[in-house]
Amino acid sequence: MQNTKMEKNEEVEGYKTGTTTVGITTDEGVIMAADRRASMGHLTSSKYAKKVYELDDNLGLTIAGSVGDAQKIVRIMRSQMNLHKLETKELTVKGAGTLLANILHGNKMMPFMNQFVLGGLEDGEGVLYDLDALGGLMKNEKFTSTGSGSTMAYGVFEDNYEDDINHDDAKDLAVRAVQAAMERDTASGNGIVVAEITEDGFNILEEKEVKKRLE
């Protein structure tokens, strides 16, 4: 048992995600974005990978890492959140983050091979949380990024993010950050998906709008 645990810990320690996801808080809510490429080593296994998920009207999740593990987590989270609604009431963003952290921590012997960004509206304000494969939960006040292209994305954020950034400008910044990562990170590419979470709910931007913002 001890050897198995050590092997799993070493596996997680050396695990590298191949993608780029970002999240930004704004004056109206949250912007989340990601590239579309799924890779297996040097092979691009899909050009249409889904990396931004709607968990609820006011809640989104980005994933970096194993596609199968990510899809399982999304199914579990949606199921647990629906049960919670029936039993009590809708989870807050922090509550959903704690739920996901507990799920990940409960599988630490065979961890899910992912990084997550959880974002949504709480008391009318945008909130972001980072989660690692073992259930570490960290709140972000401004912006965050995961995956192999995150270094480039963070560079764009550090240079351009302003505390009073408006919602529309944040969409442009999210697109620029992912695009910068795609230009340097071979595991990121094949287009950008952008989602916004506001009082109007969860919305995926049309592809033509994303392309216009790139121009």
Euclidean distance between the first and final Cα of the chain, in Å?
55
CB 77 within 8 A of CB 87: no
């230009």: which residue's tokens? 183
Strand partners, 139: 129
CB 155 within 8 A of CB 126: no
Catalytic residue set: 19
Longest dimension (CA), the chain: 55
Q: What is the dihedral of CA 59, 65, 69, 75, to 10 degrees?
A: 20
Cα–Cα dist 124/30, whole Å: 11
